[in-house]
Amino acid sequence: MCCIYIFKILKPFDLIVIGAGASGLIAAGRASELGARVLVVERNKVAGRKLLITGKGRCNITNDAEWDEYKKNISPDPKFFRHSYMRFGPANMVELLERLGLETKVERGGRIFPQSDKSLDVVQCLENWAKRNKCEFLFHSKAISLVSDENSVRGVLVQNATESFTLHASNILLAGGGKSYPATGSDGSAYRLAQGVGHSVTQLHPALVPLETQGDIAAKLQGLGLKNVSASLWVNGKKTSEEFGEMIFTHFGLSGPIILTLSRQAAIALRENKQVEISIDLKPALDEKKLDTRLLRDLNENGNKKIVNLIRQWLPATLGEIFLEINAIDSDLQANQMGSLARRNLMLMMKNFRFRISGHRPFKEAIITAGGIPTNEIDPKTMQSKLMKGLFIAGEMLDLDANTGGFNLQIAWSTGWVAGEAATAIKGT
Protein backbone atom coordinates (compact mmCIF):
# COMPACT_ATOMS: atom_id res chain seq x y z
CA MET A 1 0.00 0.00 0.00
CA CYS A 2 2.84 2.35 0.83
CA CYS A 3 4.31 1.95 -2.67
CA ILE A 4 0.95 2.75 -4.29
CA TYR A 5 0.44 5.73 -1.97
CA ILE A 6 3.80 7.16 -3.05
CA PHE A 7 2.84 6.77 -6.72
CA LYS A 8 -0.42 8.62 -6.11
CA ILE A 9 1.03 11.66 -4.37
CA LEU A 10 4.07 12.30 -6.56
CA LYS A 11 3.92 14.66 -9.53
CA PRO A 12 2.83 13.27 -12.89
CA PHE A 13 5.17 11.04 -14.88
CA ASP A 14 6.56 12.03 -18.25
CA LEU A 15 5.70 8.58 -19.59
CA ILE A 16 3.67 5.66 -18.31
CA VAL A 17 4.31 2.41 -20.17
CA ILE A 18 1.53 -0.19 -20.07
CA GLY A 19 3.19 -3.59 -20.32
CA ALA A 20 6.69 -4.81 -19.43
CA GLY A 21 7.20 -6.91 -22.54
CA ALA A 22 9.74 -6.41 -25.33
CA SER A 23 8.46 -3.08 -26.69
CA GLY A 24 7.58 -1.77 -23.22
CA LEU A 25 10.97 -2.56 -21.68
CA ILE A 26 13.00 -1.02 -24.46
CA ALA A 27 10.80 2.09 -24.59
CA ALA A 28 11.07 2.52 -20.82
CA GLY A 29 14.83 2.01 -20.87
CA ARG A 30 15.40 4.46 -23.70
CA ALA A 31 13.05 7.15 -22.34
CA SER A 32 14.51 6.97 -18.84
CA GLU A 33 18.03 6.99 -20.28
CA LEU A 34 17.15 10.29 -21.98
CA GLY A 35 16.02 11.76 -18.69
CA ALA A 36 12.27 11.17 -18.70
CA ARG A 37 10.46 10.19 -15.52
CA VAL A 38 9.03 6.80 -16.45
CA LEU A 39 6.72 4.30 -14.80
CA VAL A 40 6.00 0.81 -16.17
CA VAL A 41 2.67 -0.73 -15.17
CA GLU A 42 2.66 -4.53 -15.46
CA ARG A 43 -0.16 -6.90 -14.53
CA ASN A 44 2.21 -9.79 -13.77
CA LYS A 45 4.56 -10.02 -10.81
CA VAL A 46 7.61 -9.94 -13.08
CA ALA A 47 8.64 -8.33 -16.36
CA GLY A 48 8.88 -10.09 -19.69
CA ARG A 49 6.68 -13.14 -19.10
CA LYS A 50 6.09 -13.64 -22.82
CA LEU A 51 9.64 -12.71 -23.72
CA LEU A 52 10.87 -15.49 -21.45
CA ILE A 53 9.30 -18.20 -23.62
CA THR A 54 10.41 -16.86 -27.01
CA GLY A 55 12.76 -19.04 -29.01
CA LYS A 56 11.86 -22.00 -26.80
CA GLY A 57 13.35 -20.18 -23.85
CA ARG A 58 16.46 -19.09 -25.74
CA CYS A 59 15.05 -15.77 -27.06
CA ASN A 60 15.55 -15.28 -30.79
CA ILE A 61 16.37 -11.60 -30.21
CA THR A 62 16.37 -10.47 -33.82
CA ASN A 63 17.46 -11.32 -37.36
CA ASP A 64 20.45 -9.64 -38.95
CA ALA A 65 18.75 -9.36 -42.37
CA GLU A 66 18.78 -6.15 -44.37
CA TRP A 67 15.61 -4.12 -44.99
CA ASP A 68 14.85 -5.79 -48.33
CA GLU A 69 14.57 -9.13 -46.53
CA TYR A 70 12.56 -7.69 -43.63
CA LYS A 71 9.91 -6.23 -45.88
CA LYS A 72 9.39 -9.65 -47.49
CA ASN A 73 8.72 -11.17 -44.07
CA ILE A 74 6.34 -8.55 -42.63
CA SER A 75 2.57 -8.24 -43.15
CA PRO A 76 0.34 -6.48 -43.96
CA ASP A 77 2.09 -3.08 -44.30
CA PRO A 78 5.88 -3.38 -44.21
CA LYS A 79 6.30 0.21 -45.43
CA PHE A 80 4.91 1.44 -42.11
CA PHE A 81 7.79 -0.29 -40.31
CA ARG A 82 10.56 1.08 -42.52
CA HIS A 83 11.25 4.23 -40.49
CA SER A 84 11.43 2.33 -37.20
CA TYR A 85 13.76 -0.25 -38.73
CA MET A 86 16.06 2.44 -40.11
CA ARG A 87 16.04 4.32 -36.80
CA PHE A 88 16.72 1.26 -34.65
CA GLY A 89 17.47 -1.91 -36.57
CA PRO A 90 19.01 -5.31 -35.74
CA ALA A 91 22.56 -3.97 -35.53
CA ASN A 92 21.40 -1.27 -33.09
CA MET A 93 19.72 -3.89 -30.91
CA VAL A 94 22.84 -6.04 -30.77
CA GLU A 95 24.96 -2.96 -30.03
CA LEU A 96 22.60 -1.96 -27.20
CA LEU A 97 22.70 -5.39 -25.56
CA GLU A 98 26.46 -5.59 -25.83
CA ARG A 99 26.75 -2.09 -24.35
CA LEU A 100 24.65 -3.37 -21.47
CA GLY A 101 26.93 -6.38 -21.03
CA LEU A 102 24.98 -9.10 -22.85
CA GLU A 103 26.87 -11.02 -25.53
CA THR A 104 25.03 -12.36 -28.58
CA LYS A 105 25.64 -14.88 -31.35
CA VAL A 106 24.40 -15.40 -34.89
CA GLU A 107 22.95 -18.74 -35.94
CA ARG A 108 21.43 -20.28 -39.06
CA GLY A 109 19.30 -17.95 -41.14
CA GLY A 110 20.67 -14.82 -39.48
CA ARG A 111 18.89 -15.55 -36.20
CA ILE A 112 20.51 -13.81 -33.24
CA PHE A 113 20.42 -15.28 -29.72
CA PRO A 114 22.04 -14.40 -26.38
CA GLN A 115 25.36 -16.19 -26.00
CA SER A 116 23.96 -17.81 -22.86
CA ASP A 117 20.88 -19.20 -24.67
CA LYS A 118 18.75 -17.83 -21.82
CA SER A 119 15.77 -15.53 -22.40
CA LEU A 120 15.95 -14.50 -18.76
CA ASP A 121 19.28 -12.80 -19.41
CA VAL A 122 17.68 -10.57 -22.06
CA VAL A 123 14.78 -9.63 -19.78
CA GLN A 124 17.02 -8.86 -16.80
CA CYS A 125 19.45 -6.90 -18.96
CA LEU A 126 16.72 -4.56 -20.21
CA GLU A 127 14.91 -4.29 -16.87
CA ASN A 128 18.12 -3.46 -15.00
CA TRP A 129 19.02 -0.88 -17.65
CA ALA A 130 15.71 0.88 -17.09
CA LYS A 131 16.03 0.73 -13.30
CA ARG A 132 19.57 2.14 -13.38
CA ASN A 133 18.07 5.13 -15.15
CA LYS A 134 15.51 5.53 -12.34
CA CYS A 135 12.58 4.00 -14.21
CA GLU A 136 9.99 2.73 -11.73
CA PHE A 137 7.96 -0.49 -12.02
CA LEU A 138 4.50 -1.16 -10.65
CA PHE A 139 3.77 -4.90 -10.78
CA HIS A 140 0.56 -6.81 -10.00
CA SER A 141 -1.39 -3.86 -11.39
CA LYS A 142 -3.68 -3.74 -14.42
CA ALA A 143 -4.52 -0.71 -16.54
CA ILE A 144 -8.33 -0.42 -16.67
CA SER A 145 -8.82 2.67 -18.84
CA LEU A 146 -7.06 5.72 -20.15
CA VAL A 147 -7.82 9.17 -18.77
CA SER A 148 -8.09 11.83 -21.46
CA ASP A 149 -9.04 15.47 -21.83
CA GLU A 150 -10.48 16.29 -25.25
CA ASN A 151 -7.81 14.94 -27.65
CA SER A 152 -4.94 14.40 -25.17
CA VAL A 153 -4.17 11.64 -22.69
CA ARG A 154 -3.77 12.67 -19.06
CA GLY A 155 -3.26 9.40 -17.24
CA VAL A 156 -4.41 5.86 -16.65
CA LEU A 157 -6.82 4.22 -14.23
CA VAL A 158 -5.04 1.28 -12.58
CA GLN A 159 -6.35 -1.54 -10.43
CA ASN A 160 -4.52 -3.92 -8.13
CA ALA A 161 -5.73 -6.55 -5.69
CA THR A 162 -7.06 -4.01 -3.20
CA GLU A 163 -7.96 -0.74 -4.92
CA SER A 164 -8.25 1.37 -8.06
CA PHE A 165 -6.36 4.62 -8.53
CA THR A 166 -5.36 7.08 -11.24
CA LEU A 167 -1.78 7.72 -12.29
CA HIS A 168 -1.09 10.91 -14.22
CA ALA A 169 1.25 11.34 -17.15
CA SER A 170 1.71 13.58 -20.17
CA ASN A 171 2.40 10.53 -22.35
CA ILE A 172 1.14 6.94 -22.33
CA LEU A 173 2.61 4.03 -24.27
CA LEU A 174 0.39 1.03 -24.88
CA ALA A 175 2.67 -2.00 -25.12
CA GLY A 176 0.33 -4.65 -23.76
CA GLY A 177 0.83 -7.24 -26.49
CA GLY A 178 -1.73 -9.10 -28.58
CA LYS A 179 -3.81 -12.19 -27.78
CA SER A 180 -1.28 -14.97 -28.27
CA TYR A 181 -0.11 -16.92 -25.21
CA PRO A 182 -2.77 -15.28 -22.96
CA ALA A 183 -1.42 -17.12 -19.91
CA THR A 184 1.50 -14.67 -19.98
CA GLY A 185 -0.90 -11.74 -19.57
CA SER A 186 -1.16 -11.01 -23.28
CA ASP A 187 -4.92 -11.57 -23.44
CA GLY A 188 -6.01 -8.77 -25.77
CA SER A 189 -7.27 -6.46 -23.01
CA ALA A 190 -4.85 -3.71 -24.04
CA TYR A 191 -6.77 -3.27 -27.31
CA ARG A 192 -9.76 -2.12 -25.27
CA LEU A 193 -7.68 0.68 -23.78
CA ALA A 194 -7.04 2.01 -27.28
CA GLN A 195 -10.65 1.51 -28.34
CA GLY A 196 -11.75 3.50 -25.31
CA VAL A 197 -10.15 6.63 -26.76
CA GLY A 198 -11.35 6.14 -30.32
CA HIS A 199 -8.98 3.68 -31.97
CA SER A 200 -10.26 0.79 -34.03
CA VAL A 201 -8.96 -2.78 -34.06
CA THR A 202 -8.79 -4.92 -37.17
CA GLN A 203 -9.89 -8.57 -37.18
CA LEU A 204 -7.61 -10.53 -34.84
CA HIS A 205 -6.51 -14.07 -35.58
CA PRO A 206 -3.64 -16.37 -34.59
CA ALA A 207 -0.49 -16.24 -36.70
CA LEU A 208 2.53 -18.52 -36.62
CA VAL A 209 0.17 -21.18 -35.39
CA PRO A 210 0.00 -24.96 -36.03
CA LEU A 211 -2.65 -26.18 -38.49
CA GLU A 212 -5.25 -28.90 -37.97
CA THR A 213 -5.91 -31.47 -40.70
CA GLN A 214 -8.78 -33.71 -41.69
CA GLY A 215 -8.41 -37.47 -41.31
CA ASP A 216 -6.01 -39.47 -39.19
CA ILE A 217 -2.88 -39.55 -41.35
CA ALA A 218 -1.09 -36.77 -39.47
CA ALA A 219 -1.93 -38.42 -36.15
CA LYS A 220 -0.43 -41.71 -37.36
CA LEU A 221 2.77 -39.80 -38.15
CA GLN A 222 2.78 -37.89 -34.85
CA GLY A 223 6.29 -36.83 -33.80
CA LEU A 224 7.86 -37.36 -37.24
CA GLY A 225 9.93 -34.37 -38.27
CA LEU A 226 10.98 -33.67 -41.85
CA LYS A 227 13.89 -31.58 -43.08
CA ASN A 228 14.60 -30.07 -46.48
CA VAL A 229 11.03 -30.42 -47.69
CA SER A 230 8.81 -27.94 -49.45
CA ALA A 231 5.28 -27.11 -48.31
CA SER A 232 2.87 -25.09 -50.43
CA LEU A 233 -0.45 -23.52 -49.48
CA TRP A 234 -3.43 -24.03 -51.77
CA VAL A 235 -6.57 -21.91 -51.40
CA ASN A 236 -9.64 -22.87 -53.44
CA GLY A 237 -7.42 -24.96 -55.69
CA LYS A 238 -4.86 -22.21 -56.34
CA LYS A 239 -1.31 -22.26 -55.04
CA THR A 240 -0.71 -19.06 -53.05
CA SER A 241 2.68 -19.52 -51.36
CA GLU A 242 5.49 -21.98 -50.71
CA GLU A 243 8.13 -22.49 -48.02
CA PHE A 244 11.23 -24.71 -47.80
CA GLY A 245 12.68 -26.13 -44.62
CA GLU A 246 11.51 -28.13 -41.60
CA MET A 247 8.11 -29.33 -40.37
CA ILE A 248 6.63 -31.86 -37.96
CA PHE A 249 3.49 -34.01 -37.77
CA THR A 250 1.37 -33.77 -34.62
CA HIS A 251 -1.67 -35.53 -33.18
CA PHE A 252 -3.88 -32.77 -34.63
CA GLY A 253 -2.08 -31.93 -37.87
CA LEU A 254 0.99 -30.02 -39.00
CA SER A 255 3.51 -27.74 -37.31
CA GLY A 256 7.12 -26.64 -37.58
CA PRO A 257 8.76 -23.54 -39.12
CA ILE A 258 7.48 -23.78 -42.70
CA ILE A 259 3.94 -24.60 -41.58
CA LEU A 260 3.91 -21.70 -39.12
CA THR A 261 5.00 -19.33 -41.87
CA LEU A 262 2.14 -20.49 -44.11
CA SER A 263 -0.38 -20.37 -41.26
CA ARG A 264 -1.14 -16.64 -41.48
CA GLN A 265 -2.60 -16.91 -44.97
CA ALA A 266 -4.22 -20.23 -44.09
CA ALA A 267 -6.01 -18.73 -41.08
CA ILE A 268 -7.35 -15.84 -43.16
CA ALA A 269 -8.60 -18.20 -45.87
CA LEU A 270 -10.27 -20.44 -43.30
CA ARG A 271 -12.03 -17.44 -41.78
CA GLU A 272 -13.35 -16.63 -45.26
CA ASN A 273 -14.70 -20.19 -45.56
CA LYS A 274 -12.32 -21.07 -48.37
CA GLN A 275 -10.92 -24.53 -49.06
CA VAL A 276 -7.39 -24.74 -47.68
CA GLU A 277 -4.84 -27.46 -48.38
CA ILE A 278 -1.15 -28.02 -47.68
CA SER A 279 0.90 -29.94 -50.23
CA ILE A 280 4.23 -31.37 -49.10
CA ASP A 281 6.95 -32.08 -51.64
CA LEU A 282 9.18 -34.65 -49.96
CA LYS A 283 11.75 -34.58 -52.78
CA PRO A 284 11.96 -30.92 -53.87
CA ALA A 285 15.44 -31.38 -55.39
CA LEU A 286 14.05 -33.82 -57.99
CA ASP A 287 11.37 -33.18 -60.58
CA GLU A 288 8.87 -35.93 -61.35
CA LYS A 289 10.87 -37.38 -64.22
CA LYS A 290 14.13 -37.61 -62.26
CA LEU A 291 12.37 -39.02 -59.20
CA ASP A 292 10.59 -41.66 -61.26
CA THR A 293 13.90 -42.63 -62.88
CA ARG A 294 15.47 -43.06 -59.45
CA LEU A 295 12.60 -45.20 -58.17
CA LEU A 296 12.74 -47.43 -61.24
CA ARG A 297 16.51 -47.84 -60.87
CA ASP A 298 16.22 -48.80 -57.21
CA LEU A 299 13.43 -51.26 -57.95
CA ASN A 300 15.49 -52.92 -60.66
CA GLU A 301 18.64 -53.08 -58.52
CA ASN A 302 16.78 -54.50 -55.49
CA GLY A 303 14.32 -56.78 -57.21
CA ASN A 304 14.27 -59.45 -54.48
CA LYS A 305 13.78 -57.02 -51.61
CA LYS A 306 10.39 -56.56 -50.02
CA ILE A 307 8.97 -53.20 -50.94
CA VAL A 308 8.49 -52.34 -47.24
CA ASN A 309 12.28 -52.52 -46.84
CA LEU A 310 13.12 -50.73 -50.07
CA ILE A 311 10.81 -47.81 -49.44
CA ARG A 312 12.91 -46.97 -46.37
CA GLN A 313 15.61 -45.85 -48.78
CA TRP A 314 13.20 -43.21 -50.03
CA LEU A 315 11.26 -42.18 -46.95
CA PRO A 316 11.33 -42.41 -43.13
CA ALA A 317 10.04 -45.86 -42.09
CA THR A 318 6.70 -44.72 -40.61
CA LEU A 319 6.01 -42.47 -43.58
CA GLY A 320 6.89 -45.22 -46.03
CA GLU A 321 4.44 -47.60 -44.36
CA ILE A 322 1.70 -44.94 -44.57
CA PHE A 323 2.43 -44.49 -48.29
CA LEU A 324 2.05 -48.21 -48.90
CA GLU A 325 -1.18 -48.27 -46.89
CA ILE A 326 -2.72 -45.32 -48.75
CA ASN A 327 -1.83 -46.82 -52.13
CA ALA A 328 -3.00 -50.33 -51.12
CA ILE A 329 0.41 -51.84 -51.86
CA ASP A 330 1.19 -55.10 -50.06
CA SER A 331 4.24 -54.48 -47.85
CA ASP A 332 5.47 -58.03 -48.55
CA LEU A 333 5.46 -57.42 -52.28
CA GLN A 334 8.87 -57.90 -53.90
CA ALA A 335 10.33 -54.86 -55.62
CA ASN A 336 10.45 -56.57 -59.01
CA GLN A 337 6.71 -57.29 -58.75
CA MET A 338 5.68 -53.63 -58.45
CA GLY A 339 3.90 -52.38 -61.54
CA SER A 340 4.44 -49.04 -63.26
CA LEU A 341 1.11 -47.62 -62.04
CA ALA A 342 1.90 -48.33 -58.39
CA ARG A 343 5.37 -46.86 -58.81
CA ARG A 344 3.97 -43.73 -60.42
CA ASN A 345 1.41 -43.29 -57.65
CA LEU A 346 4.17 -43.45 -55.03
CA MET A 347 6.24 -40.96 -56.99
CA LEU A 348 3.35 -38.51 -57.33
CA MET A 349 2.55 -38.75 -53.63
CA MET A 350 6.17 -38.00 -52.75
CA LYS A 351 5.85 -34.81 -54.80
CA ASN A 352 2.36 -33.94 -53.59
CA PHE A 353 1.55 -35.33 -50.14
CA ARG A 354 -1.64 -33.37 -49.60
CA PHE A 355 -3.61 -32.50 -46.48
CA ARG A 356 -6.98 -30.75 -46.23
CA ILE A 357 -6.75 -28.09 -43.51
CA SER A 358 -9.75 -28.06 -41.19
CA GLY A 359 -8.65 -25.35 -38.76
CA HIS A 360 -5.82 -23.92 -36.71
CA ARG A 361 -4.84 -24.10 -33.07
CA PRO A 362 -6.11 -21.39 -30.67
CA PHE A 363 -4.44 -18.16 -29.54
CA LYS A 364 -2.91 -19.94 -26.57
CA GLU A 365 -0.71 -21.90 -28.99
CA ALA A 366 0.01 -19.06 -31.43
CA ILE A 367 3.37 -17.32 -31.41
CA ILE A 368 1.99 -13.99 -32.58
CA THR A 369 -1.27 -12.13 -33.20
CA ALA A 370 -2.21 -10.96 -36.69
CA GLY A 371 -4.36 -7.84 -36.76
CA GLY A 372 -4.52 -5.02 -34.23
CA ILE A 373 -4.46 -1.22 -34.23
CA PRO A 374 -4.50 -0.11 -37.90
CA THR A 375 -1.20 1.42 -38.93
CA ASN A 376 -3.00 4.32 -40.65
CA GLU A 377 -4.03 5.50 -37.18
CA ILE A 378 -0.39 5.75 -36.03
CA ASP A 379 2.44 8.09 -37.06
CA PRO A 380 5.20 5.75 -38.35
CA LYS A 381 7.93 8.24 -37.39
CA THR A 382 6.96 8.47 -33.71
CA MET A 383 4.43 5.66 -32.96
CA GLN A 384 2.14 8.41 -31.65
CA SER A 385 -1.59 8.09 -32.19
CA LYS A 386 -3.06 10.33 -34.86
CA LEU A 387 -6.26 10.46 -32.79
CA MET A 388 -4.99 11.18 -29.29
CA LYS A 389 -2.06 13.44 -28.41
CA GLY A 390 0.43 11.86 -26.05
CA LEU A 391 -0.73 8.31 -26.75
CA PHE A 392 1.81 5.93 -28.28
CA ILE A 393 1.29 2.33 -29.40
CA ALA A 394 4.04 -0.20 -30.12
CA GLY A 395 4.82 -3.87 -30.56
CA GLU A 396 2.31 -6.64 -31.09
CA MET A 397 -0.66 -4.33 -30.51
CA LEU A 398 -0.07 -2.88 -33.97
CA ASP A 399 -1.53 -4.51 -37.06
CA LEU A 400 1.94 -5.68 -37.98
CA ASP A 401 3.29 -9.23 -37.78
CA ALA A 402 6.05 -11.26 -39.36
CA ASN A 403 7.41 -14.70 -40.09
CA THR A 404 9.55 -16.68 -37.65
CA GLY A 405 13.23 -15.98 -37.30
CA GLY A 406 13.47 -12.94 -35.01
CA PHE A 407 11.48 -10.54 -37.19
CA ASN A 408 8.58 -10.10 -34.75
CA LEU A 409 10.82 -9.21 -31.84
CA GLN A 410 12.62 -6.67 -33.99
CA ILE A 411 9.25 -5.03 -34.69
CA ALA A 412 8.80 -4.74 -30.93
CA TRP A 413 12.31 -3.38 -30.33
CA SER A 414 12.18 -0.86 -33.16
CA THR A 415 8.70 0.52 -32.51
CA GLY A 416 9.31 0.59 -28.75
CA TRP A 417 12.59 2.47 -29.14
CA VAL A 418 11.04 5.04 -31.49
CA ALA A 419 8.07 5.53 -29.14
CA GLY A 420 10.33 5.96 -26.11
CA GLU A 421 12.41 8.61 -27.84
CA ALA A 422 9.37 10.45 -29.24
CA ALA A 423 7.59 10.51 -25.88
CA THR A 424 10.72 11.90 -24.24
CA ALA A 425 10.90 14.69 -26.81
CA ILE A 426 7.48 15.98 -25.70
CA LYS A 427 7.75 15.11 -22.01
CA GLY A 428 6.01 17.28 -19.51
CA THR A 429 3.69 18.94 -22.04
pTM above 0.85, yes or no: yes
Question: Per-residue pLDDT tens for 360-400?
Answer: 999 999 999 999 999 999 999 999 999 999 999 999 999 99
As a whole number of Å, the end-to-end CA separation of the chain is 29
* Region class of 245: left (phi > 0), else alpha (psi between -120 and 50), else beta: left
**Separation between Cα atoms, residue 127 and residue 217, nearest integer Å:** 46
pLDDT computed for residue 263 by the predictor: 96
Q: Which of 50, 68, 179 is nearest to 119 (CA)?
A: 50
**Separation between Cα atoms, residue 22 and residue 59, nearest integer Å:** 11
H helices of 169-316, in order, are 189-195, 217-220, 257-271, 288-301, 307-310
**Separation between Cα atoms, residue 298 and residue 293, nearest integer Å:** 9
Question: Per-residue pLDDT tens for 240-253?
Answer: 999 999 999 999 99
Query: Over the chain (429 residues), what is each successive 10-residue block's mean pLDDT?
Result: 51 93 98 97 95 93 98 96 98 98 97 97 98 97 95 95 93 95 87 97 94 97 98 98 97 97 95 97 97 95 93 95 95 92 96 98 94 98 98 98 96 98 76
Q: Which of 119, 114, 85, 99 is nearest to 33 (CA)?
A: 99
Looking at the chain, how many residues does it have?
Answer: 429
Q: How many CA atoms lie within 13 A of 350 on its CB side?
A: 27
* Long-range contacts, stretch 33-38, CB < 8 angstroms, 24+ apart: 33/129, 33/133, 34/420, 34/421, 34/424, 35/424, 35/427, 36/423, 36/424, 36/427, 37/13, 37/134, 37/427, 38/13, 38/14, 38/130, 38/135, 38/136
Could you give phi then psi for residue 196, rounded to 5 degrees?
-65, -20
Cα angle vertex 402, ends 362, 281, to 5°? 80
Instruction: Label the pairing between strands 205-207 and 38-41.
Output: unpaired
pLDDT computed for residue 427 by the predictor: 55
Sign of CA dihedral 369, 190, 63, 87: positive
**Separation between Cα atoms, residue 231 and residue 246, nearest integer Å:** 9
The full set of domain ranges for the chain reads 2-205+369-425, 210-360
Q: Which of 225, 267, 231 is nearest to 249 (CA)?
A: 225
pLDDT computed for residue 7 by the predictor: 58
Classified by CATH at the fold level, domain 2-205+369-425 comes out as FAD/NAD(P)-binding domain (3.50.50)
pLDDT computed for residue 150 by the predictor: 85
Could you give phi then psi for residue 47, rounded to 5 degrees?
-85, 155
CB neighbour class for 149 (10 Å; exposed up to 12, middle 13-18, buried from 19): exposed
